[in-house]
Chains A and B, each alone.
Chain A
Amino acid sequence: MTEALISAEALSVAYGPANLVLRHVNFALQKGEIVTIIGPNGSGKSTFVRALLGMIQPASGTVTHAPDLRIGYVPQKLHLDPNLPLSVSRFLRLNRKLSAAQVGELLARTGVPALAKSALSTLSGGQFQRVLLARALAGSPQVLVLDEPTQGLDQPGTAAFYRLIEEVRADLGCAVLSVSHDLHVVMSASDRVICLNGHICCEGTPLVVSNAPEYRALFGMGTGGAFALYQHYHDHGADHPEHAHEHGEACDHDH
């Protein structure tokens, strides 16, 4: 376990002195691994990923990258001003030199081969995410990091997007670190799921996590109804007496 691609030790992140978002998180991403981070809104998922990528400075603790690590990053859905004329091809070339053939290849790989000349502002949500993914793949990354990549996609769109990520991962053999609350779709593909709420509540294979009492406390009891999957009951059950709140031994946060 020494050759982790990205690892964090006792990582804490704060927005201002009184606002500790992440407390003492230990984490390691191994080569080729698919890890999904889940957690309710405000649980620090995106903050965690940003700290791992070095986009924000930790309050304490360390983040270590493997030497010369190549990371492909898919940001949360961006809001482009329609007055900015930008073709897909120019977007892929931002801060990067790519030939027309390479652009075509990247777009073909993500299933949108005909879009090179299209304006970014005219794409549908699903097409846009595929273009973002194509951009992330440009440097043949060892790690693909996706921050809520399927926000705003419908169910079939989400499923198709995750299938695509699995294909890409099979091709490149890269590790995938994604942030999500679309649990059921992601979970089937993940080696490991980390349930985050300021700290790591529980982690393990999808099956282990979905049966963990901490996970149920955060996301509701049922696994059948879509409502339960998207509605996040958090605050650790403080306002939700209907969710019996049991914690495992490892779960050591305050209330």
Chain B
Amino acid sequence: MIIDAFVLRALLAGVLVALAAGPLGCFVVWRRMAYFGDATAHAAILGVALALAFNMSIFAGTLVTALAMALIVSALAGRGWAMDTTLGVLAHSSLALGLVAVSFLPGVRVDLSVFLFGDILTVTSAELWAMAGGAVLVVGLLIWRWEALLTSTISEDLARSLGMNPARERLVLTLALAITVAVGLKVVGALLIAALLIVPAATARVFSRSPEAMAVIAVGLAMLAVVAGLVASLIVDTPTGPSIVSAAAAFFAGTLGGAAVLRRKRFP
């Protein structure tokens, strides 16, 4: 079977997102930043509106707004605002504002579902290069800061006593999250990026005995989900982004079910 070029590009795009989402997703899970990821991703829609309005690249627009949102949330959290409420307000208002802003654009007939749920099959080569740059940057950042990130996640006091700066490590994660959102927008869309961060990492937890193993296994699971979702969407003609997340969710359910059965066998 000859694989079409657009399928190959889609596959590569998915693999790149998985590469960044795997290890970053682990930190999102460990630091309980799930809602934080959601807020950052939802802000991307506002970035799409800005990019279309000012005729710049959507990748750049998304990156900038996601980063701005992540920084605002971090600053508010630092001032002692209730995180849950702050994120709830910001996540949904930025999404709504983005949708309203897009509707104001004159003469542009935009298919919003592309940005909400992704459109991996239309990824261009140029976009692929930007995504590759972003993914490499995220993975590089995380590997470079790994020990400090991990220590700050375990105990900020411990990190400080070792001369580390937990605030700087938070900033590293914030930056990585914004880049990952920009990378993932075309693949699974703003609404489902957080799922690609959390679901593979949560599944990987079951198999992992060390943080490093969890990150690597999460990458593997995210890649498997990309392939399975892509193939399924080509065969049964379903939207690709949601199919990828559904595949990841199926792995999660299967893993937890399997683990429960194993436990019962071992301790009847």
Closest residue of A by beta carbon distance from B161: A73
A147 at the interface (CB under 8 A from B): yes
Given the interface pairs A55-B160, A55-B161, the reply to whether A83 lies near B154 with Cβ below 8 Å is no
Q: Given A83-B29, A85-B210, answer yes or no on A95-B157 (Cβ-Cβ < 8 Å).
A: no
Tell me how far the C-beta of B217 lies from the nearest C-beta in chain A, rounded to whole angstroms. 10
Contact A85 B161 (CB under 8 A): no
Least CB distance from A129 to B in Å reads 13
Measured between C-beta atoms, what is the minimum distance from A103 to chain B in Å? 14
Q: B161 contacts A94, CB within 8 Å?
A: no
The secondary structure that dominates the A interface is loop
- A85–B157 CB distance below 8 A: no
Q: Which of A55, A87, A91, A119 contacts B154 (CB 8 A)?
A: A91
Give the shortest distance, in Å, between A83 (CB) and chain B (any CB): 5
B164 to chain A, nearest CB (A): 8
**Distance (whole angstroms) from the CB of B34 to the closest CB of chain A:** 11
| CB of B150, distance to nearest CB on chain A (Å) | 7
Chain B residues whose C-beta falls within 8 Å of the C-beta of A76 in the assembled complex: 157
A210-B261 Cα distance, complex, nearest whole Å: 59
B161, A84: Cβ atoms closer than 8 Å: no
Q: Which residues of A lie under 8 Å from residue B32 when comparing CB positions?
A: 81
> Does residue A53 face the partner (Cβ distance < 8 Å to B)?
yes
Residue total for B at the interface (Cβ-Cβ under 8 A): 26
Say whether, besides A84-B211, A85-B211, A87-B209, A95 and B154 are in contact (CB < 8 Å).
Answer: no
With A53-B161, A71-B161, A147-B157 as known contacts, state yes or no: A83 contacts B202, CB within 8 Å.
yes
Q: CA separation between A78 and B208, bound complex, in Å?
A: 21
Interface check B31, CB cutoff 8 A: yes
The residues of B that contact A80 with a CB separation of less than 8 Å are 154
Asked if B162 is an interface residue, CB under 8 A from chain A, the answer is: yes
With A78-B154, A84-B153 given, is the CB distance from A95 to B148 under 8 Å?
yes
Complex: how many Å from CA A90 to CA B32?
A: 21
| Distance in angstroms between the alpha carbons of A27 and B164 in the assembled complex | 25
Contacting A at CB under 8 A, from B170-185, are none
If A53-B161, A75-B157, A78-B155 touch, whether A85 touches B214 (CB-CB below 8 Å) is yes
For the complex, is B35 an interface residue (Cβ under 8 Å from A)? no
Kindly report which residue of chain B lies nearest to residue A95, judged by CB atoms: B147
Q: Tell whether B158 is near chain A: CB-to-CB under 8 Å.
A: yes
B31 is contacted by which of A81, A94, A147 (Cβ under 8 Å)? A81
Query: Quick check: is B9 within 8 A (CB to CB) of the other chain?
Result: no
Report if A86 contacts B (CB, 8 A).
yes
Q: Which residues of A contact B158 (CB under 8 A)?
A: 73, 75, 78, 94
Given contacts A55-B161, A73-B157, 17 further A-B contacts (CB under 8 A): A73-B158, A81-B29, A81-B32, A83-B29, A83-B30, A83-B201, A83-B202, A83-B205, A84-B154, A85-B205, A85-B211, A85-B213, A90-B210, A90-B211, A94-B147, A94-B151, A95-B151
List 19 A-B pairs, Cβ < 8 Å: A50-B160, A55-B157, A73-B157, A75-B158, A76-B157, A78-B154, A78-B158, A81-B29, A81-B31, A83-B30, A84-B30, A84-B153, A85-B210, A85-B213, A86-B210, A87-B210, A91-B154, A95-B164, A119-B209
